[in-house]
Chain A
Amino acid sequence: GENVEQHPSTLSVQEGDSAVIKCTYSDSASNYFPWYKQELGKGPQLIIDIRSNVGEKKDQRIAVTLNKTAKHFSLHITETQPEDSAVYFCAASTGYALNFGKGTSLLVTP
């Protein structure tokens, strides 16, 4: 089955800096890659997603890049703010199932 590795497990940045979270996947048939943000006591919330026919997607301060050849994808958050502090999960899908990474706990300090 699909195996998704996510790094780093924790990340601390200063407000205004950029944050980058990286994921790799094993199944070359995976073709959908969402990113979720989870705040304490809440369910995961979709923040951005990318499909295998696209190399990069941007939404305001958030961008995702995909390298199908290397089987890795990354989340980039620019101009970080304290409210960006949360756990972020990447996932990869070949159809019905989302296979999640183990999460990155992001702390943005003022």
Chain B
Amino acid sequence: NAGVTQTPKFQVLKTGQSMTLQCAQDMNHNSMYWYRQDPGMGLRLIYYSASEGTTDKGEVPNGYNVSRLNKREFSLRLESAAPSQTSVYFCASSRDNENQPQHFGDGTRLSIL
């Protein structure tokens, strides 16, 4: 049972390039989330998807787009990467979106030069 799988694990981009981060879960969860983690800032919610077919903005959505491809997969896209988006990105899932434990992947470490 893999849980939450994120690809790629590492990526280096140049400013202005685009990139899609992939996330898949095999727990039959309804809700999925994207967070970014920066030193000294904890984890901050970028976007979430309460259920298949819905997406909503979190605390820091600017510069990102998301797609809930199906129940299993939730992708995060950077259309024009900026150095301020250098971070570690975590995907998470939960059974539903009402006060349920969230299960995290091991992250994508993204550097933008």
For the complex, count residues of B whose C-beta is within 8 A of A.
25
Q: Is B77 close to A, CB under 8 A?
A: no
Q: Is B99 close to A, CB under 8 A?
A: yes
Contact between A102 and B41 (Cβ–Cβ < 8 Å)?
yes
How far does the Cβ of A32 sit from chain B's closest Cβ, in whole Å?
Answer: 4
27 chain-A/chain-B pairs, Cβ below 8 angstroms: A6-B42, A32-B99, A34-B101, A34-B102, A43-B90, A43-B104, A43-B106, A43-B107, A44-B90, A44-B104, A46-B101, A46-B102, A49-B101, A51-B99, A89-B42, A89-B43, A95-B98, A96-B50, A96-B56, A97-B45, A98-B43, A100-B42, A100-B43, A100-B44, A101-B42, A102-B40, A103-B42
Given contacts A34-B102, A43-B107, A102-B40, 18 further A-B contacts (CB under 8 A): A1-B59, A6-B42, A31-B99, A42-B106, A43-B92, A43-B106, A45-B104, A46-B103, A49-B101, A51-B99, A95-B99, A96-B56, A96-B97, A97-B59, A100-B42, A101-B42, A102-B41, A103-B42
